[in-house]
Amino acid sequence: MPDADLYELTEQYRAEFPIFRSATYLNTCSLGALAERSRKALDQFADLWSRWGASAWYEHWLAATDDVRAAFARLIGADAAETALAPSISAALSTVVSGIEFSERPRVITTELDFPTVVYHFLARRELGVETVVLESADRVSVPLEAFAAAIDERTALVATSHVYYTSGAIQDIAGLARLAHERGAWCLVDAYQSTGQLPVNARELGVDILLTGALKWLLGGAGLALTYVRGSLIERLRPSVVSWFGVEDQFAFDPHRLTLRRDARRFELGTPAVPTVYTARAGMELVEEVGIGKIRRRVSALTEDLVERAWARGLRVRGAATPQTRSGIVMIEHPEPAAAVHRLMEAGVIADFRPGAVRLSPHFYNTTDDNERAIGVLAG
């Protein structure tokens, strides 16, 4: 599809996001913008609560959780039985990793570019014998496959890293990494929070064992809901010690005498889900599906390259991957005082974000090159 058509696509959907009436929004990697249809979904949730009270669970809300699992499964090319809901990536990690046996293989390989909650989770298990190796990044953009290859050994249980680094927007070769891990008898856990919704992600093609993501960012679903994928053949090999009544075979039997975990990935569900987010997430994921993930990737890639070129043209330094194929919609513009720069952007009506040493701009399919120009104009001014 030529870029002009993709631009029309943006125009068609942009009106659904009221934030653009008052601001230039370039911060999807922190929080996706609220679509009208997600706000309506929230109203629908409140109406059901108001009208039905607890009966809404049986008449509507449990079915809505099924819809979200099914939408997630379609998004990543999995079966719904391989998916589960969680309150956050941190909670999803807690339950899934509690089912992994580390006694013979105590090592976990991760990187300093990964989101800290992943690294913290394993560091906190030091007393339980888990050895966490945090690979360093020489360029603060990515970690080469060779560095993983050198670190993964016969004592390694797990490689746990991101599909897209929140720190640089670089897209990792997860298929290559999963292959490496498997050749050495380890599993591959991927934090896909910054990739699902902006890149095509197929869990089977990537060959990952566990994939975690959430509704908050590129899936436009709001805060309070993470999504777990566990490869079908792995599910029953993992017996989590962190469990809940949502993860058992006959949940509504309330049997306190035996624990029979579900045979599907829902054994990893942790308690009552945040139903308002189930509603907003369902609407956000429907929108992503309607637009089409292939088109979204092409549009976001075009906007990313446009941002990078505008930054370069003004002499700004971009910290990012080397090629358009390995760049994603997170553009880090180096800045000596990023907090002050984000404040200036805010005063000019541009909502962005910063991380140490850089301003972070993240366009989604609803952005335009005019948005990019507004942000770069302020940063270069």
Ligand X SMILES: Cc1ncc(COP(=O)(O)O)c(C=O)c1O
Q: Is 268 in the site for ligand X (CB under 6 A)?
A: no
The CA distance from 306 to 114, in Å, is 26
Q: Quick one: which of 45, 72, 102, 115 contacts ligand X (CB under 6 A)?
A: 115
Q: Is 137 in the site for ligand X (CB under 6 A)?
A: no
Torsion, Cα of 220, 167, 91, 118 (10° steps): 160
Binding mask 209-228 for ligand X (x = CB under 6 A): -----x-----------x--
* Residue in this structure with the two tokens 């499964």, named with its chain if needed: 73
Length of the chain: 381
Judged by CB, which is closer to ligand X: 95, or 162? 162
Q: Quick one: which of 12, 55, 117, 202 contacts ligand X (CB under 6 A)?
A: 117
For the four alpha carbons of 102, 106, 109 and 111, in that order, the dihedral sign comes to positive
Q: Quick one: which of 122, 166, 279, 365 contacts ligand X (CB under 6 A)?
A: 166
User: How many C-beta neighbours within 10 Å does residue 63 have?
Assistant: 10
Question: Residue 298 CB, nearest distance to ligand X (Å)?
Answer: 23
Question: Residue 34 CB, nearest distance to ligand X (Å)?
Answer: 17
Q: Is 72 in the site for ligand X (CB under 6 A)?
A: no
**DSSP symbol at 199:** B
Compute φ and ψ for 66, nearest 5 degrees.
-60, -40
Q: Is 353 in the site for ligand X (CB under 6 A)?
A: no
**DSSP symbol at 33:** P
Q: Which stretch binds ligand X (CB under 6 A): 87-95, 234-242, 271-279, 326-334?
A: 87-95
Residues 6+ apart with CB under 8 A from 273: 65, 85, 87, 225, 246
Judged by CB, which is closer to ligand X: 90, or 368? 90
Q: Is 162 in the site for ligand X (CB under 6 A)?
A: yes
DSSP 90-113: HHHHHHHHTTS--SS--EEEEETT
Judged by CB, which is closer to ligand X: 38, or 228? 228
- What residues line the site for ligand X (CB under 6 A)? 88-90, 115, 117, 162, 166, 191, 193-194, 214, 226
